[in-house]
Amino acid sequence: MGHGDCQVLTATVMPTLLIRFCAPMQSWGTQSRFLVRDTGLEPSKSGVIGLICAALGKPRDERPGDSPSLAQLTALKMGVRADRPGTVRLEYQTAGGTHRPGEEYGVARADGSRPGPVVSRRYYLADAEFLVGLEGPSELLRMIVGALASPRWQIFMGRKSHVPSAPLLLPESAPWLGGWREGALADGLAACPWLGQLDRAWRYREPPSPLRIVIDDSSGSETRRDVPLSFSPRRFALRRVRTGWVSLTEVT
């Protein structure tokens, strides 16, 4: 370049896939495993990637040459819009409570004492609905679309008993366009109409405003330990996110 010339570098904008997460019960815990099971207020990255892995038929034990790899999936930039935040609720579950004559039946105790029934407290989100966005290479997103359209294994919202109540893929007709957006993740989350329009019970209601958005951001002020490095054994890394709000000024 000659003296005084300048070079303008433009970042490559990858497409975005928008997915609908709707279920009577959802649970997105990232901290607990034992007697108290927590839930986050929106889908975790490990939960979303795990659901996609199930749809793809991708085993927990990753093998060399698997495509897509777990690293490719976790590299997708993720954002979540809470179209219906839902309500945090609690349920109790008992394990090992059935008596079998002549058998020591129950849950093993850490102190080595006699096995017995254990009651766990499990939190979940009731009647929540989220718009999940993934930004990344077009080929990978189209592979995910194919898997969600015809899942190989059962898909669920955090726990196996929490199954979707609506298709994850948005309608192909306008204004949904199958959830495909040729643009940045934040723009796609902000411009997509309110998901309540897809439900008869909510169709003619006004969307809550503003809507909360949580999006991957390397300079974000919040951290989440929910980036799966491995599902077997379970290992997770931190990611930074930022929380914002968007007002749907025009719902078509």
Q: What is the mean pLDDT of residues 38-47?
A: 94
Residues in Cβ contact with 154 at an 8 Å cutoff, skipping those fewer than 6 apart:
54, 160, 163
Please report the sign of the dihedral spanned by the C-alpha atoms of residue 17, residue 82, residue 29, residue 201.
Answer: negative
State how many domains the chain has. 1
**24, pLDDT greater than 90:** yes
Task: Count how many residues are written for the chain.
Answer: 252
**219, pLDDT greater than 70:** yes
Contact 122, 93 (CB under 8 A): yes
Q: What is the mean pLDDT of residues 52-63?
A: 92
pLDDT of residue 131: 98
106 is a domain residue? no
* pTM, two decimal places: 0.86
Out of 16-20, 59-63, 247-251, least confident range: 247-251
Helix (H) or strand (E) holding 122: strand 118-135
Domain extent, residue 20, equals: 16-92+123-246
Residues in Cβ contact with 171 at an 8 Å cutoff, skipping those fewer than 6 apart:
178, 198
Burial classification of residue 179, based on how many CB atoms lie within 10 Å of its CB (0-12 exposed, 13-18 middle, 19 or more buried): buried
pLDDT of residue 251: 42
pLDDT of residue 112: 67
Q: What is the CATH number of the domain that holds 157?
A: 3.30.70.2660
